[in-house]
A and B are shown apart, each in its own frame.
Chain A
Amino acid sequence: QITLRESAPTLVKPTQTLTLTCSFSGFALSTSGEAVGWIRQPPGKALEWLALIYWDDDKRYSPSLKDRLTITKDTSKNQVVLTMANVDPADTATYYCARSFYTSGTYGYWGQGTLVTVSS
């Protein structure tokens, strides 16, 4: 059974760095072809793709956020970590991690999401 779960602080102050952790089971990110991505959704708004990490440690970032994002993986812990620097209230959103399926940009398994609020 494949599961993913996000964890993060619920409240972060502007200019701080946000760390989001995706803990997963049922697959190994060390297996050729595997990838995990991050997607976010501000309250009442559409989904926004953020970043992706492949089994071979290759990484992709949304160009609009590239300077603020870092994605890493710990295959021994079955975790993917996304850090976002210099957060702003506009970064308030539910953050999802998801396992790639069929193509790296297609997501067949999702975590339940974690709501992060950026406010002073």
Chain B
Amino acid sequence: DIQMTQSPSSLSTSVGDRVTITCRASQTIGNYLNWYQQKPGKAPQLLIYAATSLQSGAPSRFSGSGSGTDFTLTISSLQPEDFATYYCQQSHTNPYSFGQGTELDIK
């Protein structure tokens, strides 16, 4: 199985901050990397697919980069509605594993 490792596991941030979350795959996955946002009690929502493509409806302050094994999700200017947990996921090889999540909370 491909292991997905996110860092950090949690992050205390403030509105307006630039936030970067990293995700590393245990083997190369090309650009088969997705990012999801999950708020408490809600289903995950797709933000970024194919490493860099912004899902329709997702705010442009979210961006993704990387390929191979190392990937990054960047939020250019954090908004109050962005405090949530973020998961990376590889869609290259079954099982389509997720990272352990990165929780953003208010500093």
Within 8 A of B (CB), among A18-68: 37, 46-49, 52, 60-64
A103 within 8 A of B: yes
The interface residues of chain A lying within 8 Å CB-to-CB of B91 are 103-106
Q: How far is the CA of A118 from the CA of B24 in the complex (A)?
A: 33
Q: How far is the CA of A112 from the CA of B42 in the complex (A)?
A: 7
Q: How far is the CA of A101 from the CA of B53 in the complex (A)?
A: 12
Number of interface residues of B (CB under 8 A): 26
Q: Is the CB of A105 within 8 A of B90?
A: yes
Q: Is the CB of A47 within 8 A of B89?
A: yes
Q: Is the CB of A62 within 8 A of B95?
A: yes
Cβ contact of A63, chosen from B45, B46, B94, B100, cutoff 8 A: B94
Q: Is the CB of A47 within 8 A of B50?
A: no
Q: Is the CB of B45 within 8 A of A110?
A: yes
The interface residues of chain B lying within 8 Å CB-to-CB of A48 are 98
Most-contacted residue by chain B among A64, A96, A102, A113 (CB, 10 A) = A102
Between A and B, 15 residue pairs with Cβ closer than 8 Å are A47-B98, A49-B89, A52-B94, A62-B95, A63-B1, A64-B1, A98-B43, A102-B50, A103-B32, A103-B50, A105-B32, A105-B96, A107-B34, A107-B44, A112-B42
> B residues bordering A, Cβ < 8 Å?
1, 32, 34, 36, 42-46, 49-50, 53, 55, 87, 89-92, 94-101
A sample of 19 more A-B contacts (CB under 8 A), given A47-B44, A106-B50, is A37-B96, A46-B98, A47-B98, A49-B89, A49-B98, A52-B94, A52-B96, A62-B94, A98-B43, A102-B49, A103-B49, A105-B32, A105-B90, A105-B91, A106-B49, A107-B44, A107-B46, A108-B55, A110-B43
